[in-house]
C-alpha cells in the first residue's frame, strides 16, 4: 500500500518446528493507533517484537516509512517501546530515565534537559524528575516509561500490554491519557492487549489475532458489529447464539425455535435444511415486543440480575438461553424469574456465524 506507514507483509515466525505467526499482513496508516487483540499465546508480542527488531521473521517483510527494516537492528529502527512490566532503570532518577535514549544518541546536555522537561509535562509529572522509580506508583512508572520511549521522538510507538499490571481505575485513566498523548503527537502506534474493552475503547483499528494469524482487521465498530469469523464474534463482546434451520433458501427465511425469521441476503448459498448458528448482541434484543422489530421469539425468564442502572435478564428460548439488558425503571416492578415473555429484535441485526 503506497501510503501505509508500517507495512507487515506475509510475515511468518517459527521457533524450531513450531510456527507461531503465519500469513500475517497489516498496513498501518501514518498517525494510526492499531491494537493487536487476542488470547494469550496467539502471537501478538511476537509480531510486535519483529516490528521492533528483537525477533527476525522466518519469512516476509516489514517496511517502515517506505524502507525495508526486516533485517535492521532494533537501535536503527527509530521505534519507542513500552513493556508490561515497568522496565525503568531503578538506579536512575525519573529525569535520567527519560534522558537515557537522548544521552545514548549523543544529544547535547542542554537539549536533553529541555526535552526531558517537555516529556515530563506531556505525562503530567513535571515535579517528579528527581524521584527514583521505587518512589512512584505503578501508573506513574508507566507514564515515565512512556516518556522515556517518546523522548527520542521515534517514528513508531510500540506498547506491549503497558496497562496490564495496573489496577482497574488507573488502567482506564492511563489508557485515555495514552490515547490523547498519541493523538497530540500524531505518532503511529501499535498497542498489544488481551483486553477487548481496552482495544475497543482506544483504537482506530483492531487486528484480532488467533493462532498466529490476523482473523480480522477493522475499526472497533466493524469488529464488534460485523465480526468476520466465529472466533471474532465470540472473543469480542457478549454473544447470544441460537440455532436455526434454513426453511426457504430462495426467500431467505430461517426457522428458529419454530418461528420463521427473515434473513435476506445473509444466507450465502445455504440450502433448505442447513443448520446455521445465528448470533445476537444483548443490546439488539428487547424484552417484550418492540415497535419496529420484525422478529420475535417466545421464552421464559430464567435469571434476573439487578446491576443498578441496568437489569441483566436471561431468557430460555427453546434449548438456548438469551442474555439481554433492560434499563432499570424505578416505577416499574423488575422482571421476574418464571415469567413468560417474548423477546424481539430486528432480523437485520442477526449475525450468521460461519
Residue the block writes with cell 422478529: 295
Q: Which of 11, 38, 151, 175 binds ligand ATP (CB under 6 A)?
A: 38
Q: Angle 11-224-64 (CA atoms, 0-180°, nearest 5)?
A: 30
With binding defined as CB under 6 A, does residue 15 bind ligand ATP? yes
C-alpha cell of 288? 417484550
Q: Which of 41, 186, 288, 334 binds ligand ATP (CB under 6 A)?
A: 41
Please tell me whether residue 46 adopts helix, strand or coil conformation.
helix
Q: Which stretch binds ligand ATP (CB under 6 A): 40-48, 238-246, 247-255, 307-315?
A: 40-48
Instruction: Work out how close the CB of 330 gets to ligand ATP at its nearest, in angstroms, rounded to a whole number.
Output: 42
With binding defined as CB under 6 A, does residue 288 bind ligand ATP? no
CB nearer to ligand ATP: give 194 or 205.
194
Please tell me whether residue 239 adopts helix, strand or coil conformation.
coil
With binding defined as CB under 6 A, does residue 44 bind ligand ATP? yes
Q: Residue 127: phi, psi to the nearest 5?
A: -90, -5
Q: Taking a C-beta distance cutoff of 8 angstroms, is the pair 178, 162 a contact?
A: yes
Q: Which of 3, 17, 40, 340 binds ligand ATP (CB under 6 A)?
A: 40
Q: Taking a C-beta distance cutoff of 8 angstroms, is the pair 130, 94 a contact?
A: yes
53: nearest Cα among 154, 153, 133: 154
Q: Which stretch binds ligand ATP (CB under 6 A): 42-50, 234-242, 259-267, 287-295?
A: 42-50
Q: Which stretch binds ligand ATP (CB under 6 A): 37-45, 149-157, 245-253, 342-350?
A: 37-45
- C-beta neighbour count of 160 within 10 angstroms: 20
C-alpha cell of 277? 448458528
Instruction: Work out how close the CB of 84 gets to ligand ATP at its nearest, in angstroms, rounded to a whole number.
Output: 8
Q: Which of 7, 35, 45, 97 binds ligand ATP (CB under 6 A)?
A: 45
- Pattern 164-203, binding to ligand ATP, x per CB under 6 A? ------------------------------x---------
CB nearer to ligand ATP: give 50 or 287.
50
Q: Taking a C-beta distance cutoff of 8 angstroms, is the pair 322, 285 a contact?
A: yes
Distance separating alpha carbons of residues 75 and 154, to the nearest angstrom: 11
User: Of all helices (H) and strands (E), which one includes residue 190?
Assistant: strand 188-193
Write out the residues near ligand ATP by the rule CB under 6 A: 15, 20, 38, 40-46, 194
Amino acid at each position: 500500500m503506497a501510503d501505509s506507514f508500517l507495512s507487515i507483509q506475509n510475515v511468518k515466525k517459527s521457533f524450531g518446528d513450531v510456527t507461531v505467526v503465519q500469513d500475517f499482513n497489516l498496513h498501518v496508516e501514518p498517525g494510526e493507533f492499531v491494537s493487536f487483540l487476542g488470547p494469550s499465546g496467539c502471537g501478538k508480542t511476537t509480531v510486535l517484537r519483529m516490528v521492533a527488531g528483537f525477533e527476525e521473521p522466518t519469512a516476509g517483510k516489514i517496511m517502515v516509512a517506505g524502507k525495508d527494516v526486516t533485517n535492521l537492528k532494533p537501535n536503527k529502527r527509530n521505534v519507542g517501546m513500552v513493556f508490561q512490566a515497568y522496565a525503568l532503570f531503578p538506579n536512575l532518577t525519573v529525569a535520567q530515565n527519560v534522558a537515557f535514549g537522548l544521552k545514548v544518541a549523543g544529544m547535547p546536555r542542554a537539549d536533553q534537559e529541555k526535552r526531558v522537561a517537555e516529556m515530563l509535562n506531556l505525562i503530567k509529572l513535571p515535579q517528579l524528575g528527581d524521584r527514583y522509580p521505587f518512589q512512584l506508583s505503578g501508573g506513574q512508572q508507566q507514564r515515565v516509561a512512556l516518556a522515556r520511549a517518546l523522548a527520542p521522538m521515534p517514528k513508531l510507538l510500540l506498547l506491549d500490554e503497558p496497562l496490564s499490571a495496573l489496577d482497574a481505575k488507573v488502567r482506564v485513566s492511563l489508557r485515555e491519557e495514552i490515547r490523547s498523548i498519541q493523538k497530540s503527537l500524531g505518532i503511529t502506534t501499535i498497542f498489544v492487549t488481551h483486553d477487548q474493552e481496552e482495544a475497543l475503547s482506544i483504537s482506530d483499528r483492531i487486528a484480532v489475532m488467533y493462532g498466529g494469524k490476523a482473523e480480522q482487521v477493522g475499526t472497533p465498530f466493524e469488529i464488534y458489529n460485523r465480526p468476520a469469523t466465529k472466533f471474532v464474534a465470540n472473543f469480542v463482546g457478549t454473544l447470544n447464539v441460537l440455532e436455526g434451520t434454513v426453511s426457504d433458501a430462495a426467500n431467505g427465511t430461517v426457522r428458529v425455535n419454530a418461528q420463521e425469521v427473515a434473513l435476506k441476503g445473509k444466507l450465502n448459498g445455504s440450502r433448505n435444511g442447513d443448520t446455521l448458528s445465528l448470533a445476537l448482541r444483548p443490546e439488539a434484543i428487547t424484552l417484550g415486543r418492540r415497535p419496529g422489530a420484525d422478529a420475535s421469539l417466545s421464552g421464559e425468564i430464567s435469571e434476573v440480575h439487578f446491576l443498578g442502572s441496568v437489569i441483566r435478564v436471561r431468557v430460555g428460548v427453546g434449548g438456548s438461553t438469551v442474555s439481554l439488558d433492560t434499563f432499570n425503571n424505578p416505577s416499574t416492578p423488575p422482571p421476574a424469574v418464571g415469567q413468560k415473555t417474548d423477546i424481539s429484535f430486528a432480523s437485520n441485526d442477526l449475525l450468521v456465524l460461519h
